[in-house]
Structure 1
Amino acid sequence: MIIFQPERILLKKQIKKHSHHIIGDVLDVGCGSFDRYSELFSFKKYLKMDIDENNNPDVVGSANNIPLPDNAVDSIVCTQVLGDIWDLKKAFSEFFRVLKPGGKVLATESLMAAMHDEPHDFWRFTNYSLERFFQEAGFRVLESERRGGFFSSNAQNIIRYLIDRLDLYDSFLGKILRYPLIFFGRMMMFIDNLDKSKAGGRQTMGWCIVAVK
């Protein structure tokens, strides 16, 4: 059963907005068990990489040890993966190594999110930390955009709590609450669009960064 979550809606919308940066031979780092975003990009070849071979990736490997030669791909997509990597400097160095000159990375990460993938959930990020990691690896940051604000962030936290606390994915209660949660989540996202305050922006869910080699 699918339960509405503002984070997923806003994340896909944000990736689509910046999808024009991703072209040519693309490496999806940490693709997971199914393909979420490749349909958003125009590409020549799309390589899915994951550390778990049971997810049937095209390439088995981790972000800090990518089994590809130097200058191998035109673009890298890395969505909601960096927080699960302990050696971040090595990961950013690997991104730089396998990208062709002029190649781009589209990366998203969280500032506010429930714990997940335990015990491999290590980090949360501000835009300043993400930008600095990219810059210290040799990249130039082209785009840095927040995702959501105070109202959608809190809606996400409440819905995620209810999913975990009440086991909404696998219970009859999930069917009952499904549509009320859609209304609640979309209402809070709408209010976020009206709130242009600095205070609201500081309560963002996370960030999208586009950087070029």
Structure 2
Amino acid sequence: MKNLKNTREVIAHTAHFVSGKTLDFGAGSAKYRNLIVPHTSEYITFDMIKGTNIDVVGDALNPPFPNNHFDTVISTQVLEHVEKPWIMVSEIGRILKPGGVCIITAPFMAPYHADPHDFFRFTIEGLASLFVNNEFEIIEHDSYGKIFSVLSEMIHFMFFSPYRRSTKRRDLWGGRIMRRVESLAYLLDKSLKNKIIYPNGYVVARKKRT
């Protein structure tokens, strides 16, 4: 298994599962658009908050899409912000076509970050358990990042949190510093075999054909 260091690498690693009409669920700034779009016939962004990159606004627990509508649903770092994530997963199953695939990432060891709320953290098993039912089959699931990535993320949130008031100077220097810190963390993580401490996990699951 690859030593994936961040969510961008997870999306790049799993992009071959993406096809057809694709929903970016909780898209935010749609920062992974360039990795997703080449594999799709149509790319739609959905979020709970209006934004310049958002096509559809609605409730994560009641998304305004018909049954069996999408070939792929991608959701990165959203489940922790949802009060009832098992319902969100059920809704993803509802809007996926039979045989459709979802790619989901979620944090395990991450600082508090309300956007606008922050309810949960997920072990790999905990995240996968949301998809162990009669509707989905799990294709792939794993953690990404290790202990130094956890420490890097703590430093990021302590000093340069995107949830604090932003200034141009702080963003500039914060970005430069964190790029170096994250690169060092990745190099140090590569030397480790122990994966019990990790910041994030992901699941790729397919909706069963009836």
Shorter-chain TM band: 0.7 to 0.9
Which residue does 2:100 correspond to in 1? Answer: 103
- Contact 2:160–2:170 at 8 Å: present in 1 too? no
Which residue does 2:9 correspond to in 1? Answer: 13
- Residue 29 (structure 1) shift: 0.7
Within 5 A, what are the aligned runs for 1:54-133?
54-55=51-52, 57-117=54-114, 120-133=117-130
- Secondary structure in 2 matching 1:125: coil
Q: Which of 18, 22, 33 pairs up with 1:22?
A: 18
Q: Which of 140, 160, 182 pairs up with 2:179?
A: 182
Question: What amino acid is aligned across from residue 204 of structure 1 in structure 2?
Answer: Y
Structure 1 residues 181, 65: closer, same or farther in 2, change over 3 A? closer
Does residue 32 of structure 2 align to residue 37 of structure 1? yes
- Residue 147 (structure 1) shift: 1.2
- Residue 35 (structure 1) shift: 1.8
Deviations 1:53-107 (A, max 9, x none): 3455222222210111110110000011011111222211111111111000000
Deviations 1:154-208 (A, max 9, x none): 12212321114xx7952646655654443332112101011112xxx11101111
RCO comparison, higher one (Cα < 8 Å, 6+) = 1
CA distance in 2 between partners of 1:103 and 1:173 (Å): 42
TM-score (norm 1): 0.85
CA RMSD of aligned residues (A): 2.2
- Residue 136 (structure 1) shift: 3.0
Q: Which segment drifts farther, 96-105 or 83-92?
A: 83-92
Give unmatched runs, 5+ long, in structure 2.
none
CA distance in 1 between partners of 2:130 and 2:104 (Å): 12
Structure 1 residues 177, 124: closer, same or farther in 2, change over 3 A? closer
